[in-house]
Amino acid sequence: MGVYPGRYTAEIEGDFVVFLIGMRFNKPWKVKAWGPVFLAMPKMLKTIGEHPELGCLGTHAWVGRTTIMLQYWRSFEALDHFARDKDLPHLEPWRAFNRAIRDSGDVGIWHETYKVRAGEYEGVYANMPAFGLARAARHVPIAARGQSAAARIGAATGLEPAVDPY
């Protein structure tokens, strides 16, 4: 994945969902507690990667003591369907976690979900590979959506951009 010199932004049609999910290794030595949770994720990622009709637009992951998975979905309904469908690879690991670990404190699980209405987002990617929403949707030159964050999010203030548009 090459670096795109200059400034770019993301462009996507319609509403979408940003989903953040992760885990925290509260007791890293208790591999039997967090291992099954950690090992369930590759199958889920493979499934959503191979089946775009499920509605996942793209993902990024970071691993440390607290893991972070950033996902973009076409809709909340698509995300919820993936989470709850018994024929997809999320529901059973979720249930197994709740049966085995739920209140032990050995491993933490977290998620946040944001519904984003069309046009109510903005991003800038300077001297970066296609990343985040721009990789999940369309990676376009900054001029396509405006030189300032306010212009890109539809809150133009009439003030000059903080950075000269080169």
- Predicted confidence pLDDT, tens digits, the chain (166 residues): 799 999 999 999 999 999 999 999 999 999 988 888 888 899 999 999 999 999 999 999 999 999 999 999 999 999 999 999 999 999 898 888 888 887 889 999 999 999 999 999 999 999 999 999 999 999 999 988 888 888 888 886 666 555 555 4
- What structural domains and CATH numbers belong to the chain? 4-12+118-152 (no CATH), 16-116 (3.30.70.100)
| Predicted model pTM | 0.88
From CA 120, how far away is CA 61, in angstroms rounded?
Answer: 24
Structure letter (DSSP) for residue 49: H
Burial string for 39-52 (b: 16+ CB within 10 Å, else e) reads ebbeebbeebeeee
- pLDDT for residue 71: 97
Span 76-121, pLDDT tens digits: 999 999 999 999 999 898 888 888 887 889 999 999 999 999 999 9
Which is nearest to 10 in space by CA: 154, 149, 138?
A: 138
pLDDT of amino acid 152 = 87
The DSSP secondary-structure symbol of 161 reads P
Q: What is the pLDDT of residue 144?
A: 83
Bridging pattern class, strands 68-73 and 138-141: unpaired
Among 18, 152, 131, 123, smallest CA distance to 74 is for 18
Nearest residue to 33 (alpha-carbon basis) of 108, 109, 107? 107
